[in-house]
Chain A
């Protein structure tokens, strides 16, 4: 089973022509056929096979050459249906590739399919998808997390070694935590958002979901960089993000925010994080507690900013240019009929709140106030990074829970992102890394870095990964 080998092992086999890209593609589709997790919305089988055969005549010129990858279904893929898991876009065929997709194609990676997700990336369980639930590979009665549910479940169950997700308030890190994958949200502006279906433009970021830390860094190397089509992307040199992996961690300064160890977090989760903190100290790291201001306002802050931006971004679904289109006697009626039919409940709730808090005087009370709190929280993070290299804590308050648990609770999906939201607010990079299990369900650790210092995150993460040496394969066998 080639897809169970490490990236470097697969690369060696491809280079020495012992295997061909088609062997990897066939194996991925065999695994998809046996899979019952509902990881995918659309498969790209015919095109993937064609591409794999074409690659046989090409030189294996990079580590990612010929490797299968799954793409979250809110990232545009030319001529391959892209739905954002919404009825609104269930027949939408993009006419161009997102910049991240173009970059993967330049590396000759092979897109296997488009992964299931919460509708328009709004949710933390995968359950708001128009295409049904994604199941957790460790226990099929549990949620896989969200919104990048299919991307995390697909990598976790070893269907593809790589996937892309997007993260607005925790949508890469939270499902990674629930599925024992490694998921990174890069610094805001490190990866182009061009061709990514917008949810909240000042928070959204694309990132890699992988089986281990090294492979995550390799995929970030491929997708990072300035893009003139996204002027929020940063014109800053892309370094080799693997450069610190394997280096000694002696003297590294790590902060734990007191809030991340408070009793809103399950005790067993905290104990697992503290166990890792002890290991770091034993190996010469300096670990200390800090206070970061305004963390307790993460949820209302996120609700105001992300929903305000979402209501504006989702105003484009009008039934005219693309997507679902219902008739109406007037233009206004056409909008309303189309949007009422096309959007699911979670999305409707969120754009209603967003429209309301931006209307008239409400904008001053809510939106501008939130932008002030955002600045203050960000400044508090910056203060910590004057003295510390990295911040650690749990990714989530607990492990995965039963599907359907709190489906009618309008606040549940927000509270799942309590610890991940502040990172998006500040625009910092952060990873979720598996560090243990509670009742056979994975526990994720959160490592937050300073701006554009993803390499330091990988440095610490790879050390922890190597030291713990966990078996993160839901079926066993690493």
Chain B
């Protein structure tokens, strides 16, 4: 069974809060899945990796500015819009 600190670490990686009362549930469920996943580690295999079934070549677009979406449309589903900006909590440390 993985320990509580590991559950907290994993939740932090996924940017999630886990309530104290849910901790043991996630501890068990994550352990169950990780135990299953460990079967893949045991496979002895020497093979090229396969990231995608697609064999398409990358197709770069030209490095030119284009108008893709109107600003008002792009902001349609944002919750915190002030004039031309979306506002977020302060991200950098230090003086205002």
Contacts and interface: CB of A to CB of B under 8 A. Distances in A.
Nearest to B54: A232
A376 interface: yes
A375 B48 contact: yes
Interface in A46-81: none
Nearest to A296: B39
Given A232-B52, A232-B56, A234-B56, A353 B17 contact: no
A466 interface: no
A365 to B, nearest CB: 5
Contacts of B74: 95
A371 B53 CA distance: 11
Given A231-B56, A231-B58, A303-B36, A374 B13 contact: no
B50 A375 contact: yes
A330 B28 CA distance: 31
A95 B30 CA distance: 37
Chain B, interface SS category: loop
A332 B88 CA distance: 11
B79 interface: yes
B36 to A, nearest CB: 5
Taking each of A92, A235, A371, A410, which has the highest tally of chain B beta carbons within 10 Å of its own beta carbon? A410
Contacts of A239: none
A343 B16 CA distance: 9
Interface residues of B, number: 49
A297 B50 contact: no
B89 A328 contact: yes
A337 to B, nearest CB: 7
A372 B56 contact: no
Contacts of A297: 39-40, 43
Contacts of A303: 33, 36-37
A320 B47 contact: no
A349 interface: yes
Interface residues of A, number: 70
B59 interface: yes
A470 B78 CA distance: 50
B75 to A, nearest CB: 9
A344 to B, nearest CB: 12
A279 B56 CA distance: 40
A373 B45 contact: yes
A359 interface: yes
Contacts of A335: 15
A95 B78 CA distance: 12
Contacts of B40: 297, 300-301, 304, 366, 369-370, 373
A352 B13 CA distance: 7
A267 B26 CA distance: 35
A427 interface: yes
A334 B46 CA distance: 43
A5 interface: no
A322 interface: yes
A38 interface: no
A321 B85 CA distance: 11
B90 A330 contact: yes
B62 to A, nearest CB: 13
Which of B39, B45, B53 is the most central at the interface, judged by chain A CB atoms within 10 Å of its CB?
B53
Nearest to A188: B53
A365 B41 contact: yes
Contacts of B39: 297, 300
A38 B15 CA distance: 32
**Which of B11, B50, B52, B86 has the most CB atoms of chain A within a 10 A radius of its CB?**
B50
Nearest to A359: B13
A311 interface: yes
B80 interface: yes
17 contacts: A92-B77, A95-B76, A231-B59, A300-B37, A321-B78, A331-B91, A348-B14, A352-B13, A356-B14, A359-B13, A372-B43, A372-B45, A374-B49, A375-B50, A410-B30, A410-B33, A426-B53
Interface of A: 91-93, 95, 188-189, 201-202, 231-232, 234-235, 294, 297, 299-301, 303-304, 311, 315, 319-323, 325, 327-337, 339-340, 343, 348-349, 351-357, 359, 365-366, 368-376, 378-379, 408, 410-411, 414, 426-427
The 7 closest A-B pairs by CB, nearest first: A427-B53, A322-B77, A371-B49, A375-B50, A410-B29, A355-B13, A325-B79
Interface of B: 10-11, 13-18, 25-26, 28-30, 32-34, 36-41, 43, 45-54, 56, 58-59, 69, 73-74, 76-80, 86, 88-91
Given A188-B53, A234-B56, A320-B78, 9 more contacts: A93-B77, A202-B54, A300-B38, A311-B14, A323-B77, A359-B13, A372-B49, A375-B47, A410-B28
